[in-house]
Structure 1
Amino acid sequence: MANEQKARVGFIGCGRHSGLRLYPGLAEAGLELIAVCDQDEQKAQQRATQYSTPHFYTDWRAMCSEHQLDAVLVVTGPQGHYELGKQLLEQGLHVFTEKPASATTAQAEELVQVAQATGRHMQIGFNYRYSMGVERAMKMIEAGRFATPATVSVRWYLGEPDTRRFMQHYVCHALDLLHYVTPGGLTHLDPERELHMEYHRQDNFDWYVLTMRSQQNSIAVLELGAHMSGEGHHARIDFMSGDGLLSVDDFTQVTHYETAPWGDLRKEGSKTYDGDRVWRTEPLLMRGSIWHTYGYVNELTRFREAIQGLRTPEATVAEAAWGMHVMDRLAKQAARE
């Protein structure tokens, strides 16, 4: 960051999640923390002291009026993300919120309209896009080391038995990941007409399989369950092409399962199978760098670059709103069963 201009930010929310996942990466991402705000004054003061800023507030309006800020980060819960995000955008500030963007799809669509009207960027915290395993796989594809995938599958098995909480806090990540890693993306699709869904309720969990097709004709598959533990295997992304199978396990390990003609299919001069390749990133977890491994620093860096005009905005509220429309359809199906 020595040769790059930092962005001045305020932060609303001084709870446990933001303290573990987001505050630690602010400086590395080029976000200069000017002030913090929380309804609990003691929490705000403690967080300000921890990050060496003298400015802490219980009134976010006072924080914004007393400091020249480029953006505000909001981590308060779905309703707060909507209410605060809308007002901050209307004040001309860029906004970063954790997921979900809002409590309802209608609120998310309203945020889309406000962001467009004000010309401000509202980014949602879909950090798994930028996890180390996903980044390695995407770079391999972009560099031509693995051919453009014909099929992409996201298998997500982490969540809760409650359908609403499963959607708001877990499925939103899985949908965003599938959209992000599928060539051409998926937000052009009408969730009511252009995706196929299978659903089953068993063992007190929701089980789904969705299939859809991207703008570049790749087949996208989403497999959902909520039965696994976050301490074990709970997510997998598979890319398939003529170069074999490229897999990302739990965002930390990448494996390229090579392919080549075999048996009677093998001809003179054809490619020879020479083994699979595994890139393991679990040692990073042992060093405690969770905000690097799971993409928190990267998402904040991209937020800064977007508001400074250095890159096209990503993980936008419009993309989040599309995902919420899909989740509405999933929840309706669950309610009918």
Structure 2
Amino acid sequence: MIYQRDFEHRVRVGVVGVGQHAYRNILPALNFLPAELVAVADVNSELAERTSRQFGSTHAYGSAAEMYANEELDAVLLCVSPQLHPQLAVEAFGAGLHVWMEKPAAATVADVDMMIAARGDRIATVGYKKAFMPATLKVAELIDLGELGKVRTVLGVYPMSIPHAGRTYIDSKETTMWLANGCHPLSVLLSIAGPARSVTVHRGADDSGILLLRHTNGIVSNLHLAQGVSLSQPFERYIVFGDDRTAEIENSRKVTFQRGIPFGPNTTSFAPPGIDTGAVTWEAQDGLNTFENKSEFTQGLVGGLEYFFSCVLAGEAPEKVNLDFARQLAQIHEAAILSDSDAVDLETMS
């Protein structure tokens, strides 16, 4: 890890929206990234001025369009509501800027399509940070190395409810927990199991229940909607089931690779000789004031932003968390609302 001041080449960036999230997470994260903060914009111009001074940018604006017109920027970070992303992103693409936006990309598939149509050759990624969690990357590595054999199913557990409504409700673009945070577990499932082809939701009381994804490669993943679980306790878990082996992510900070032990009717020890069987665990430790245990790293926030800036500097189109990935998440968001114990085929959705 190196710091902003140490990078030889940096992206000239503006930030749109300096509310609590940007102030608490995004702006401080720039300390670790190849970015030069040039200007900020917010409809609260006084807040923009104060934030600009604190974080060392030279100008503050009351609108994104004004900032685009007056500054020499390479890229913009959109830290506003998903309902505002399409217009702001289209404006930014028109100004020749690369765009990173917070999750989710938009409230509807149609809005994501609007951005895709305007993107041109510009680089655009979305802050689906959990795709960049070290824990997610470790499990993906185990799969790529063949350590799990054939992956068959994936289980996710996340406190969430999914409204059961129709197209009119979707088009209202109401911000719900399903829109705002449902993309977190979905981005992990898609990163591990690949693109999905259908969505089925079975609801219980209070719209909790399960969401079933059938992936194009034959894997089935299940998101258990653990509605009601307190957010003040560990509440998030993912398990990948392969051939005689599993990999589990607990609370973003712990990965356990279960390799099993030699087992039979005459097995007498759960800890047989050697180190080639049993479990391997990687876990964030809080004994030292270092990066690997801080939430901006364990949650993948810095990793996702670093990926965006590296694509911009290299002039390479992003393969991860791009607008096409965002479109699939938007499809799943809509299909889950429409499903009532029936499968919704994503390929046939309008």
Task: Place the TM-score, normalised by the shorter chain, in its bin.
Answer: 0.7 to 0.9
Match of 1:16 among 7, 14, 20: 20
User: Taking structure 1 as reference, are residues 131 and 22 closer, same or farther at Cα in structure 2, changes over 3 Å only?
Assistant: same
Say if 1:24 and 1:291, in contact at 8 Å, map to a contact too.
no
Residue of structure 2 equivalent to 1:86: 90
Match of 1:165 among 176, 181, 186: 176
CA distance in 1 between partners of 2:44 and 2:341 (Å):
38
Residue of structure 1 equivalent to 2:270: none
Say if 1:176 and 1:320, in contact at 8 Å, map to a contact too.
no
Q: Any unmatched runs of 5+ in structure 1? A: none
CA distance in 1 between partners of 2:65 and 2:101 (Å):
17
What amino acid sits opposite 1:245 in the alignment? T
What amino acid sits opposite 1:24 in the alignment? P
Residue of structure 2 equivalent to 1:186: 195
Identity percentage of aligned residues: 22
Query: Superposed, which structure 2 residues align to 1:87-166 within 5 Å?
Result: 87-115=91-119, 118-144=120-146, 146-159=147-160, 165-166=176-177
TM-score (norm 2): 0.82
CA distance in 1 between partners of 2:117 and 2:150 (Å):
33
Say if 1:36 and 1:48, in contact at 8 Å, map to a contact too.
yes
CA distance in 2 between partners of 1:32 and 1:152 (Å):
43
Measured after TM superposition, the shift of residue 83 of structure 1 is: 1.3
CA distance in 1 between partners of 2:324 and 2:214 (Å):
19
Q: Is the counterpart of residue 206 in structure 1 residue 208 in structure 2?
A: yes
Say if 1:131 and 1:293, in contact at 8 Å, map to a contact too.
yes
Q: Runs of 4+ in structure 1 displaced over 4 angstroms?
A: 160-164, 284-288
Q: Is the counterpart of residue 52 in structure 1 residue 56 in structure 2?
A: yes
Residue of structure 1 equivalent to 2:11: 7
Measured after TM superposition, the shift of residue 310 of structure 1 is: 6.1
Residue of structure 2 equivalent to 1:331: 337
Q: Deviations over 1:239-272 (max 9, x none)?
A: 2223511100111111112224411598xxxx99
SS of the aligned residue for 2:314 comes to coil
TM-score (norm 1): 0.85
CA distance in 1 between partners of 2:125 and 2:311 (Å):
9
Measured after TM superposition, the shift of residue 333 of structure 1 is: 2.7
User: Taking structure 1 as reference, are residues 276 and 200 closer, same or farther at Cα in structure 2, changes over 3 Å only?
Assistant: same
Q: Any unmatched runs of 5+ in structure 2? A: 165-174, 268-273, 343-350
Q: Deviations over 1:145-203 (max 9, x none)?
A: x2355134241322468676132112222222211112xx215x2xxxx44x241130x
CA distance in 2 between partners of 1:75 and 1:236 (Å):
27
What amino acid sits opposite 1:179 in the alignment? L
Residue of structure 2 equivalent to 1:298: 303
Measured after TM superposition, the shift of residue 285 of structure 1 is: 10
Say if 2:158 and 2:235, in contact at 8 Å, map to a contact too.
yes
Say if 1:214 and 1:220, in contact at 8 Å, map to a contact too.
no
CA distance in 1 between partners of 2:150 and 2:207 (Å):
31
Residue of structure 1 equivalent to 2:237: 236
Measured after TM superposition, the shift of residue 136 of structure 1 is: 2.7
Say if 2:148 and 2:246, in contact at 8 Å, map to a contact too.
no
CA distance in 1 between partners of 2:306 and 2:82 (Å):
23
CA distance in 1 between partners of 2:107 and 2:266 (Å):
55
What amino acid sits opposite 2:254 in the alignment? Q
CA distance in 1 between partners of 2:266 and 2:337 (Å):
47
CA distance in 2 between partners of 1:59 and 1:249 (Å):
41
Say if 1:260 and 1:272, in contact at 8 Å, map to a contact too.
no
Range that drifts further, 104-113 or 9-18: 104-113
Say if 1:132 and 1:293, in contact at 8 Å, map to a contact too.
yes
Say if 2:211 and 2:336, in contact at 8 Å, map to a contact too.
no
Measured after TM superposition, the shift of residue 56 of structure 1 is: 1.0
Measured after TM superposition, the shift of residue 297 of structure 1 is: 0.7
Equivalenced residue count is 320
